[in-house]
Amino acid sequence: MTAPVLEARGLHFAYERGRAVLTGADLALPAGRRTAVLGPNGGGKTTLFRLLAGALAPDAGEVLLDGEPVRRTRAGRTALRSQVQLVLQDPDDQLFAATVAQDVSFGPVNLGLDEPTVRTRVDAALAALDLTAVADRPPHLLSFGQKKRVAIAGAVAMAPRLLVLDEPTAGLDPAGVEALLVTLAELEAGGTTPVLSTHDVDLAHRWADDVAVVVGGRVRTGSADAVLSDPDLLSAARLGPAWAPAVHRLLRAAGSDARPRSAAELHALLAGSTTSASAVNRAPG
């Protein structure tokens, strides 16, 4: 595996004395690998993301960017923000400008970029998130899904290497979820690696290369197949099983090594099995 762009080592954090949220959390995020972060409500996913993005300071441990500890100085925070962008679960927590375009331009302007560069980045981010038509509208007049896209566009305009999204599919209908995944794939093609938190184990399994489960103040990480096939870990994190690994176990018990990762793939597999069985039943004999 390539060296991580961003890494958490032994992070400890408590909002109140004696009520620790993280107690030695480790997480490595390399470029080019999709990572989904899961865990129970209140288990520390959002806290971990805020620590990674520099919005919170750890009580102990450190965050490293390209192998170097992130300094708690203005220069250190600026360097981190230029590489890592966090999008919060509720877009209203991030949107404040009079128009969509002004909101998206906030980050690049504060990086001190010249006006032509800012305009180019904003136009590209609006186009990537299908927001060009509403660029001059006030964000508060948009739908919830559009607001989410504006918040993501503001992060994309910073041209980050890592885009960290806290529950980006929450509140979206199935079509909105699929549209978001298409957008993330397009951003990946442009060199931005997405990291997202979710409660949807099936989404994590079909989308992610790696899955990290935040439970008991620590983080367990591995391949999506391995982590989401661990019933004890899922139970400890109050997560249900992913259907795809469960279906694979059933298929393997029946003598098949097929690994459907979506309902469509499973339907096609079952349809093929039905066709084959019908052909056998119709064969002369």
Give pLDDT, residue 17. Answer: 78
pTM recorded for the entire structure = 0.83
Give pLDDT, residue 276. Answer: 43
Give pLDDT, residue 91. Answer: 93
Start-to-end CA distance of the chain, whole Å, equals 55
Give pLDDT, residue 261. Answer: 61
Task: Tell me the C-alpha distance between 111 and 119, whole Å.
Answer: 13
Contact residues for 180 (Cβ-Cβ < 8 A; gap 6+): 148, 168, 169, 172
- For each of the chain's 285 residues, which pLDDT tens digit applies? 578 999 999 999 999 877 899 999 999 999 999 999 999 988 999 999 999 999 999 999 999 999 999 998 988 988 999 999 999 999 999 999 999 999 999 999 988 999 999 999 999 999 999 999 999 999 999 999 999 999 999 999 999 999 999 999 988 888 889 989 999 999 999 999 999 999 999 999 999 999 999 999 999 999 998 999 899 999 999 998 876 666 655 666 667 776 666 566 665 766 666 444 443 344 444
Instruction: Encode pLDDT of 80-112 as tens digits.
Output: 999 999 999 999 999 999 999 999 999 999 889
Q: Which two tokens stand for residue 277?
A: 């069985």
CATH domain 4-240 topology: Rossmann fold (3.40.50)
Instruction: Encode pLDDT of 196-230 as tens digits.
Output: 999 999 999 999 999 999 999 999 999 998 999 89
Domain range list for the chain? 4-240, 242-285
Burial class (CB in 10 A: 0-12, 13-18, 19+), 1: exposed
88-95: long-range contacts at Cβ-Cβ below 8 A with a sequence spacing of 24 or more?
Answer: 88/151, 88/166, 89/46, 89/166, 89/167, 89/168, 89/170, 91/139, 91/144, 91/147, 91/148, 91/150, 91/151, 92/140, 92/147, 94/151, 94/154, 95/139, 95/140, 95/147, 95/150, 95/151
Instruction: Encode pLDDT of 140-153 as tens digits.
Output: 999 999 999 999 99
